[in-house]
Amino acid sequence: MTYSSVIIASTAGYLINTLREMLSDFNIRVFSVSSDDELKLKIKTVNPRMIFIENCFCKPETDSFIFKLSKANRDIRLIVWSLCEVSPLGAARLINAGADSFFSLRDKEEKITSISQ
């Protein structure tokens, strides 16, 4: 059986555990990182299919970090997620930077799990 790899980039343990639980029914190896340096290293060693990046992972520079990741790794899907609602303009800015999708953990589980399929 082949497993896809997913990286969760967040500094909040609760958010990592919540997303990990939502993905537990799939055959996915889930890794978590808490800094941009850890993320860059994990990308090289794991070759993930997707990266879930917390909206405030790199503080106000999240969109520029996503832009760099999307240019360097075109085969990896970048999904930005947040515990809170984000304004449509904020979500559009992240999508414009190169994120494939944006969701809030307040979204229904069907939306979140449909991203990973």
For residue 57, pLDDT over 50 is answered with yes
Euclidean distance between CA atoms 49 and 75, whole angstroms: 7
Domains of the chain: 4-115 (3.40.50.2300)
pTM: 0.77
| Closest by Cα among 34, 12, 8, 20 to 84 | 12
For residue 116, pLDDT over 80 is answered with no
Euclidean distance between CA atoms 64 and 80, whole angstroms: 13
**Which pLDDT belongs to residue 38?**
92
**Which two tokens mark 110?**
């069907």
Euclidean distance between CA atoms 41 and 89, whole angstroms: 31
pLDDT tens-digit profile of 2-36?
Answer: 458 899 998 888 878 887 887 877 778 889 999 88
Q: Which of 6-15, 23-32, 49-58, 101-110 has the lowest mean pLDDT?
A: 101-110
